[in-house]
Amino acid sequence: MIRRTLIQLLSILVLYFITYGTWCKDFDKTLNWQKWSPKVFEQAQEKGQLVLLNLTATGCTFCRKMDETTYKNPQVIETINRNYIPVHANEEFYPKLAKRYENYGRPATIIFDGNGTEIIKRRGYLRPQWMVWLLEAVAQNPSPKAHQ
């Protein structure tokens, strides 16, 4: 009787750890998009990370393509989660931001340091490998002069 109970308990524990481990792996493969606000810069300063802004527009084909390919790529996700606070902003909800970057089309990718200083701006669709190269380069040297 005791042996049977121990086997059941062990089985439950094994299932729990398998389920928990799988859930953790899936969690690490997603991006926790934040809203555009001063809090993201405070958070970046606290964590020693940079801010990655993905500025999009409703109906933008290449914005959707980046969401479906680039931002779903495991290497991109890993690099962002390690070095960046990801921020998603639709221009319809952030008109001042849209005006500020109106010359960059959509999608626009802008990286800031924790103080809000722009490090680099890129317009248009970025393929996953290009995004990884960009993110790694900026994380290694976050000086705006290095990326002009």
Could you tell me if 72 and 6 lie in one domain? no
Q: Which of 77, 71, 141, 84 is nearest to 111 (CA)?
A: 84
Count Cβ neighbours within 10 Å for each residue of 88-102 and write b for 16 or more, e otherwise: bbbbeebeebbeebe
Could you tell me if 80 and 38 lie in one domain? yes
Could you tell me if 1 and 58 lie in one domain? no
Q: Residue 1 sits in which domain range?
A: 1-30
Per the structure, the count of domains in the chain is 2
Q: Is the pTM of this model over 0.75?
A: yes
Could you tell me if 68 and 95 lie in one domain? yes
Residues 48 and 12: their CA atoms lie apart, in Å, by 40
The CATH number assigned to the domain holding 61 equals 3.40.30.10
Query: pLDDT 10s digit of each residue in the chain, 148 long?
Result: 676 665 665 556 555 454 444 444 443 578 999 999 999 999 999 999 999 999 999 999 999 999 999 999 999 999 999 999 999 999 999 999 999 998 888 999 999 999 999 999 999 999 999 999 999 999 999 999 998 8
Contact 70, 77 (CB under 8 A): no
**DSSP 8-class letter at 54:** E
